[in-house]
Amino acid sequence: MTFVRVATLSELETDTPKRVEVDGTPVSLVQTEGEVFAINDICSHANVSLSEGEVEDCAIECWLHGSSFDLRTGKPSGLPATRPVPVYPVKIEGDDVLVSVTQES
Protein backbone atom coordinates (compact mmCIF):
# COMPACT_ATOMS: atom_id res chain seq x y z
CA MET A 1 0.00 0.00 0.00
CA THR A 2 1.59 3.27 -1.10
CA PHE A 3 0.88 6.35 0.94
CA VAL A 4 1.13 9.69 -0.82
CA ARG A 5 1.52 13.05 0.92
CA VAL A 6 -1.51 15.12 -0.12
CA ALA A 7 -1.76 18.00 2.34
CA THR A 8 -0.69 19.34 5.68
CA LEU A 9 -2.88 19.36 8.75
CA SER A 10 -2.63 23.13 8.90
CA GLU A 11 -4.19 23.37 5.42
CA LEU A 12 -7.34 21.55 6.55
CA GLU A 13 -10.20 23.39 8.14
CA THR A 14 -12.53 21.45 10.37
CA ASP A 15 -15.67 20.30 8.53
CA THR A 16 -14.50 21.91 5.28
CA PRO A 17 -13.68 19.28 2.65
CA LYS A 18 -10.56 19.72 0.54
CA ARG A 19 -10.35 18.09 -2.87
CA VAL A 20 -7.01 16.52 -3.74
CA GLU A 21 -5.82 14.04 -6.36
CA VAL A 22 -3.99 10.88 -5.35
CA ASP A 23 -2.45 8.93 -8.24
CA GLY A 24 -5.14 10.39 -10.52
CA THR A 25 -7.99 9.56 -8.15
CA PRO A 26 -10.07 12.50 -6.90
CA VAL A 27 -10.28 12.39 -3.12
CA SER A 28 -12.10 14.55 -0.63
CA LEU A 29 -10.12 15.07 2.58
CA VAL A 30 -12.21 15.90 5.62
CA GLN A 31 -11.06 16.84 9.08
CA THR A 32 -13.86 16.31 11.54
CA GLU A 33 -14.34 15.04 15.08
CA GLY A 34 -10.58 15.17 15.63
CA GLU A 35 -9.74 12.82 12.75
CA VAL A 36 -8.91 13.10 9.08
CA PHE A 37 -10.86 11.02 6.57
CA ALA A 38 -10.36 10.39 2.87
CA ILE A 39 -13.32 9.51 0.66
CA ASN A 40 -13.56 9.32 -3.12
CA ASP A 41 -14.71 12.72 -4.30
CA ILE A 42 -17.29 11.44 -6.78
CA CYS A 43 -20.82 10.67 -5.58
CA SER A 44 -21.95 7.11 -6.36
CA HIS A 45 -25.27 8.44 -7.70
CA ALA A 46 -23.99 10.82 -10.36
CA ASN A 47 -20.77 12.53 -11.36
CA VAL A 48 -20.81 15.19 -8.66
CA SER A 49 -17.97 16.39 -6.45
CA LEU A 50 -18.66 15.50 -2.82
CA SER A 51 -16.09 18.03 -1.59
CA GLU A 52 -18.60 20.75 -2.47
CA GLY A 53 -21.04 19.31 0.05
CA GLU A 54 -21.45 19.83 3.78
CA VAL A 55 -19.99 17.77 6.60
CA GLU A 56 -22.13 16.76 9.55
CA ASP A 57 -22.09 13.86 12.05
CA CYS A 58 -19.01 12.29 10.45
CA ALA A 59 -20.70 12.19 7.05
CA ILE A 60 -20.46 14.21 3.86
CA GLU A 61 -23.64 15.26 2.12
CA CYS A 62 -23.92 15.33 -1.65
CA TRP A 63 -25.12 18.83 -2.53
CA LEU A 64 -27.10 17.69 -5.56
CA HIS A 65 -29.68 15.26 -4.17
CA GLY A 66 -28.80 15.09 -0.49
CA SER A 67 -27.51 11.57 0.09
CA SER A 68 -25.04 11.51 2.98
CA PHE A 69 -22.02 9.22 2.97
CA ASP A 70 -20.43 7.97 6.19
CA LEU A 71 -16.79 9.11 6.21
CA ARG A 72 -15.72 5.92 7.99
CA THR A 73 -17.39 3.41 5.67
CA GLY A 74 -18.49 5.33 2.57
CA LYS A 75 -22.01 3.97 2.95
CA PRO A 76 -24.94 6.20 2.02
CA SER A 77 -27.46 6.81 4.79
CA GLY A 78 -30.34 7.43 2.44
CA LEU A 79 -31.64 7.65 -1.10
CA PRO A 80 -31.16 8.40 -3.90
CA ALA A 81 -27.63 6.95 -3.67
CA THR A 82 -27.59 3.22 -2.92
CA ARG A 83 -23.95 2.30 -3.52
CA PRO A 84 -21.09 3.20 -1.19
CA VAL A 85 -18.26 5.54 -2.16
CA PRO A 86 -14.72 4.17 -1.62
CA VAL A 87 -12.93 5.37 1.49
CA TYR A 88 -9.16 5.30 1.86
CA PRO A 89 -6.70 4.90 4.73
CA VAL A 90 -5.10 8.08 6.08
CA LYS A 91 -1.80 8.43 7.93
CA ILE A 92 -0.64 11.51 9.79
CA GLU A 93 3.11 12.06 10.03
CA GLY A 94 3.90 15.22 11.93
CA ASP A 95 1.98 17.89 10.00
CA ASP A 96 1.73 15.79 6.85
CA VAL A 97 -1.44 14.03 5.74
CA LEU A 98 -0.87 10.91 3.65
CA VAL A 99 -3.47 8.86 1.78
CA SER A 100 -3.29 5.53 0.00
CA VAL A 101 -5.69 4.75 -2.82
CA THR A 102 -4.05 1.45 -3.73
CA GLN A 103 -5.39 -1.84 -2.48
CA GLU A 104 -3.13 -4.12 -0.54
CA SER A 105 -2.19 -7.05 -2.73
Closest CB to ligand FES among 2 and 82?
A: 82
How far apart, in whole angstroms, are the C-alpha atoms of residue 98 and residue 93?
Answer: 8
**Closest residue by Cα to residue 45 from 67, 70, 71:** 67
Q: Does 43 participate in binding ligand FES (rule CB under 6 A)? A: yes
Q: Does 67 participate in binding ligand FES (rule CB under 6 A)? A: yes
Q: Does 80 participate in binding ligand FES (rule CB under 6 A)? A: yes
Beta strands (DSSP E) in the chain are 4-8, 18-22, 25-32, 35-40, 55-56, 59-61, 68-70, 87-88, 90-93, 96-99
Shortest distance in whole angstroms from residue 1 CB to ligand FES? 28
Closest CB to ligand FES among 18 and 45?
A: 45
Q: What are the residues binding ligand FES (CB under 6 A)?
A: 43, 45-46, 48, 62, 64-65, 67, 80-81
